[in-house]
Structure 1
Amino acid sequence: MRVTLGERARLSLLVGRRALRGLSGAVGTHPLLRWRYGSTKTDRLVIAPQDLRTADATRAAEIYAGRFAFAGKVVICDRRSPFEMMPPSEEWATVLLNFSWLRHLRAADSAITRANARSLIDEWINAQGSWHPVGWQPEILSRRIICWLCHSPFILQDADARFYRRFIRSLQRQVRYLRGTVNDTRAGLPRLQALIALTYAALCLNGLSGQLRPSARRLIDELRAQVLPDGGHISRNPGTLIEIVIDLLPLRQLFAARNLQSPQAINNAIDRIMPMLRFFRHPDGNFAQFNGMGPTAVDLLATALAYDDARGAPLSNAPHSGYQRIDADATVILMDTGRPPPAALSTEAHAGCLSFEMSFRQHRVIVNCGLPSMNRENWRQVARATAAHSTVTFNDTSSCRFLESKSLRRLLGGTPIVSGPRKVTAERHDDTDGATIVASQDGYAGEFGIVQTRTIKVSADGRTIDGEDAFTPAYKAFDPRKGDEYAVRFHLHPAIKASRLSEGRGVILLLPDKEVWTFATMGETVEVEESVYLAGSDGPRRAVQIVVYGRAREAPKVRWTFRHTPPVAQGARLDRAEEPELPL
């Protein structure tokens, strides 16, 4: 696919900024070279933040036995230090080196687990505490500082003075290094977490109080830039909100414990995020699979929502984040109606514009494929493609262009979106008959000269969903030299069983609780094809998708409907379907 001059200019600007950040940090890449900067000394911890992440005490015995099971990989150390072992995957190394597993040892809370934690920390200080290219990456370093601070009461209980000094000196060195490299951290959540870690340290470590004001000021600026007015995140990844709020809540408590007023920007960010946590949540407790969202950390989500004093109904319209939600009795619709995020924040964003998800009662029916929790790099580009979403693809092409250069991907630390839909509109109408969303996007206008408009109307009782996908020329008429073959896709959750009707224009959907929905079109042939649901809690799972094929010049509109079958009619034969009435 061709890249326009404007796209090249934006990409060049992004690469230039990243290169300048790299040059600015090149002088002090090694932490020992930064030792002479920021000579503030600290000799003790004055307070420890709370860790809100769920722990599993049974895993403490595995760690004590030298069995480190992280990110789906298991390493048995056999009396060797885990920091000397060859990591089986990058994800495994990340979990090991960020020390997030300390919470499992703390959950067991015994003299043995405390001694085990101190021993492993000592091993890390000896093996990698001075320098290691992976262990000192800002994203891993930020999480390690937070974990050490959160679990310091557990770690330091019964510790001798020698270990205490080593622990404090190592923390001081890590904080100083992070402070010098925070500008090199990737934009978005990683940079925000780095600033949160520095603010934690300024509140918790004696002697760093002078760093509190600049750290808090930078954190405030970053929160204002990243948390949108409607509470969404600028990356448009719903899961990012859980990570942010689960770190901000203890930070707010730290300010109160130190008899300091929490910055209003922190309180405002938490207050805006809380309603959005409910916005993205399906009735079964899981988040919708948009823009890099993987399996939902249900335990973290429940913990975060427990701090929500309002506990009101979810929003219906998130215009700044680019999402819509319809609640109609037992039916929930979530729809992506936004543009791709800025290039620097788009390394995990998906080409899923105008895709939607639907759930009925406690069951998700229509989904996007999402991302797995492990082996993400193997699936990332497949999951980001438009074909992995419940929307329309043209000529097997995504509505966004992704950076293809391997060298630039390494420099930028990911694969950003080079271009995508520029004009995305969304209109919503709510009345006594139900709710209607009319949205359009021009992601295919430049390549194929086609604009997609999707209309979704949900009845007031939530039992009928009428939809239409219309394709209009971006200019005066369709260009006959350009392809116009489309595929309207509806990915089904793995728990849904699908049976194609005999005449080929509909599909019977059987939910786990034996409820039945029927999908039908006005005349187009419907196919049931293989799919994969990547965001399962136990890894990728086989699934199916409903697909309607056509050509925009021959059939510029596709009308479809999902209709709940009343219980009385569910006993009838399902080999034929009544012709649906589509009023659109």
Structure 2
Amino acid sequence: MAVKRPANGLKFPAPFLASRRRGGVLWKAVGAEVASHVEREWFGSGPHRLILAFPRPEGLAARPHDPRPNDPARGLKILSGTLALDGGTVRIGADGDPFDTASPSRRFAVALHRFDWLPDLIAAGPDGARRALRLIDDWRRVFGKWNAFSWSAECLERRVFHLACAAKALAQEGSDAEIADLLMDLARQGRHLIEIAKFPERVLERAVVAALAGCVLAGKPGERLIDKGLKVVARHIDLMVLPDGGHATRSPEAGVELLFDLLTLDDALGQRGRPSPEALSRAIDRLSTAARFFTLGDGHLAAFHGGEAIEQRRIAAALAHDDAGPRPLNVAPHSGYHKMIGGSLEVIADAGRPPLGPLSVAACAQPAAVEIVCAKDRLITSCGWSPEAAGAHAFRLSDAASTVSVGDGSAGRPLSGFRARTLGPWLVDGATKVEVKRHDDVGGVWLDIVHDGWRHVGLTHARRLFLDAVNDELRGEDSLVPLAADPGAAQGPRRYLPFAVRFHLHPEARASIARDGRSVLIRGPNNIGWWLRNDAVDVEIAPSAHFDHGLARKAGQIVLKSQARPEVGAKIRWKLTRAEG
């Protein structure tokens, strides 16, 4: 049994140490539950609501521009009486109230109370703005004072952002009474947002949105909110935006979304005549560089750690402010990612340990996972799970990405039950040590990744990749190595663990096994063929799924199977090369 010797010389079995870690998480969960209960009671109290109402807003000032693309056609559908949001569609009629109608799913309800429909409705013109005012009045009548769900951080942050960006357009179509109500909504909700302590992984985003609301509100009420928001931004921005531009959660999509928010705040501060803090401008530059790094040859974002492969026009919108920005390097050392580019092949690999604690609520237990673009086609990817896919946390496990899986286990797992309800679905028991070596030369790129994510079964995973720029092929070797060498272990009773190297296919890719039962031919939208050859014991093409805006699309996966003795280890070698003709 594995043991660890503490400083005092005592020995504790590994299961005991693991139980202590679980106990630590349990006490954190208990503390979080108590704090959350106290916070809910205070937020719903009369004195707190009175504090939020003062000082009274004096008028509107800035009109922030959100660079995110919107869809006027969706706004016109709302005008015709059809409200389509993530998770479903509701027919409300031309003057219906969706807040008085049962939502088809929780995802739909969250999007509804976030006001995710507001940008598209504003884009539909004056009629859209007038319809939006009526919908906001419908919401205010029931939820305007306080509601635990509607005023939660999950809904409030985006609702304040959308209200701040739409306030001037709404005011142009509203009466004096409607404008006064709108100003009070924005002031109260912006002040409340800055007070929320739960979900610390988004404290920076909430502070940015609160400061944005302050920019929209004229006079001293707005200035006070700006000052409060920027103080929090100053404390957290260099912690959440890493020196290479990656987001601290290691999610590429989270970095792009934060870039949008910072660009919006930068624009609003300029309209208020206030210079952007140096840290904010620096973060915009870093996030822009990272967005270029994570954009692959097919024009979409790499999908790692709860981030989806967002579409080209959204990435283009995020980078439109700086078309001539610096060309990113092929290594993001602080974020923990490596890119390999040569010929018509492009590879991005997760070469870092998963984030910890609150930063891991959307992290995935998929160390050494890769995404591969072949001749502009993304053929090899992951399931692309994101928090929008509510309840599908199984897709955060190792077998949902293009990496190694051992038995029916995973190199980490999300919390469940009481711990997850109070702390969030943190990722625990993931890789704690990841070692990376890289060598670039004119003939190609070598990349070695070694991690201990499978230490609970006594194994280390070593992935060696070589991108041959001359022959335009990618060679890989996945090895399972015993953590502790024991010369006599190989002579003992034999026990085997099944293990597999998985290659998840993009929904637009298709694969077929050749007559030899081993080689697999993969084709993408451009109909260019690629052979995946290997020395696995067995090869299978199995069903899989790929998430797009939280909705699962049918896909496939190539599974290279073998067996490993934990005392000896094993390996599978494979090669991806272009098919002739």
- TM-score with structure 2 length normalisation? 0.90
> 1:574 maps to which residue?
none
Q: Distance in 1 between matches of 2:458 and 2:141?
A: 61
> 1:283 maps to which residue?
297
> Following TM superposition, by how much is the alpha carbon of 1:437 offset from its aligned partner in structure 2, in angstroms?
0.4
Matches within 5 A, 1:183-262: 183-184=197-198, 186-188=199-201, 190-206=202-218, 207-208=220-221, 209-262=223-276
Contact kept in structure 1, 2:453 and 2:460, CA below 8 Å: yes
Q: Distance in 2 between matches of 1:278 and 1:558?
A: 33
> Following TM superposition, by how much is the alpha carbon of 1:526 offset from its aligned partner in structure 2, in angstroms?
4.0
> Following TM superposition, by how much is the alpha carbon of 1:314 offset from its aligned partner in structure 2, in angstroms?
3.0
Q: Distance in 1 between matches of 2:138 and 2:265?
A: 29
Matches within 5 A, 1:38-53: 39-53=54-68
Asked if residue 465 in structure 1 is aligned to residue 458 in structure 2, the reply is: no
Asked if residue 441 in structure 1 is aligned to residue 451 in structure 2, the reply is: yes
**3-state SS in 1 of match to 2:65:** coil
**3-state SS in 1 of match to 2:485:** coil
Residues 347-399 of structure 1, C-alpha deviations (whole Å, 9 max, x = no match): 2111110111110122011111112686x124x22211101111111112101
Q: Which moved more, 1:552-561 or 1:63-72?
A: 552-561
Task: Show structure 2 runs of 5+ residues with no match.
Answer: 1-13
Pair 324,512 (structure 1): closer, same or farther in 2 beyond 3 Å: same
Q: Distance in 2 between matches of 1:120 and 1:351?
A: 41
> Following TM superposition, by how much is the alpha carbon of 1:16 offset from its aligned partner in structure 2, in angstroms?
5.2
Contact kept in structure 2, 1:279 and 1:315, CA below 8 Å: yes
Q: Distance in 2 between matches of 1:537 and 1:258?
A: 35
Contact kept in structure 2, 1:295 and 1:537, CA below 8 Å: no
> 1:528 maps to which residue?
540
Asked if residue 62 in structure 1 is aligned to residue 72 in structure 2, the reply is: no
Residues 187-245 of structure 1, C-alpha deviations (whole Å, 9 max, x = no match): 22x32221111111222212221333232011121211111111111111111011100
> 1:515 maps to which residue?
528
Asked if residue 109 in structure 1 is aligned to residue 121 in structure 2, the reply is: no
Contact kept in structure 1, 2:157 and 2:209, CA below 8 Å: yes
Q: Distance in 1 between matches of 2:244 and 2:71?
A: 35
Pair 72,417 (structure 1): closer, same or farther in 2 beyond 3 Å: closer
Asked if residue 418 in structure 1 is aligned to residue 428 in structure 2, the reply is: yes
Asked if residue 453 in structure 1 is aligned to residue 462 in structure 2, the reply is: yes
Q: Distance in 1 between matches of 2:367 and 2:387?
A: 23
Q: Distance in 1 between matches of 2:373 and 2:120?
A: 34
Contact kept in structure 2, 1:389 and 1:489, CA below 8 Å: yes
> Following TM superposition, by how much is the alpha carbon of 1:539 offset from its aligned partner in structure 2, in angstroms?
4.0
> Following TM superposition, by how much is the alpha carbon of 1:295 offset from its aligned partner in structure 2, in angstroms?
4.3
Q: Distance in 2 between matches of 1:20 and 1:537?
A: 34
> 2:357 maps to which residue?
343
For 1:410, the aligned partner's letter is R
> Following TM superposition, by how much is the alpha carbon of 1:345 offset from its aligned partner in structure 2, in angstroms?
1.6
Residues 62-108 of structure 1, C-alpha deviations (whole Å, 9 max, x = no match): 22233211114111124541111111111111121111212222212
Residues 251-304 of structure 1, C-alpha deviations (whole Å, 9 max, x = no match): 111222222111111111111111111111121111222111224143321101
Q: Distance in 1 between matches of 2:549 and 2:99?
A: 28
**3-state SS in 1 of match to 2:540:** strand
Please, which of 96, 102, 124 is the counterpart of residue 139 of structure 2?
124
- TM-score with structure 1 length normalisation? 0.90
> 2:337 maps to which residue?
323
Q: Which moved more, 1:546-555 or 1:12-21?
A: 12-21
> 2:109 maps to which residue?
93
Pair 164,497 (structure 1): closer, same or farther in 2 beyond 3 Å: closer
Asked if residue 159 in structure 1 is aligned to residue 170 in structure 2, the reply is: no
Residues 332-351 of structure 1, C-alpha deviations (whole Å, 9 max, x = no match): 10101111101212121111
Pair 482,133 (structure 1): closer, same or farther in 2 beyond 3 Å: farther
> 1:402 maps to which residue?
414
Name the Cα RMSD after superposition. Answer: 2.3
Contact kept in structure 2, 1:495 and 1:512, CA below 8 Å: yes
> 1:581 maps to which residue?
none
> Following TM superposition, by how much is the alpha carbon of 1:557 offset from its aligned partner in structure 2, in angstroms?
2.2
**3-state SS in 2 of match to 1:28:** helix
Q: Distance in 2 between matches of 1:140 and 1:187?
A: 15
Q: How many equivalent pairs are there?
A: 557
Q: Distance in 1 between matches of 2:573 and 2:437?
A: 19
Q: Distance in 2 between matches of 1:511 and 1:241?
A: 28
Residues 391-444 of structure 1, C-alpha deviations (whole Å, 9 max, x = no match): 11111210113323x1221112x3211211111111110011110100101111
> Following TM superposition, by how much is the alpha carbon of 1:313 offset from its aligned partner in structure 2, in angstroms?
2.8
Q: Distance in 1 between matches of 2:146 and 2:550?
A: 35
Pair 297,373 (structure 1): closer, same or farther in 2 beyond 3 Å: farther
For 2:429, the aligned partner's letter is S
Contact kept in structure 2, 1:11 and 1:418, CA below 8 Å: no
Matches within 5 A, 1:130-145: 130-145=145-160
> Following TM superposition, by how much is the alpha carbon of 1:133 offset from its aligned partner in structure 2, in angstroms?
2.3
Q: Distance in 2 between matches of 1:268 and 1:65?
A: 44
Task: Show structure 1 runs of 5+ residues with no match.
Answer: 571-584
Q: Which moved more, 1:221-230 or 1:555-564?
A: 555-564
Contact kept in structure 1, 2:245 and 2:286, CA below 8 Å: yes
Contact kept in structure 2, 1:232 and 1:320, CA below 8 Å: yes
> 1:564 maps to which residue?
578
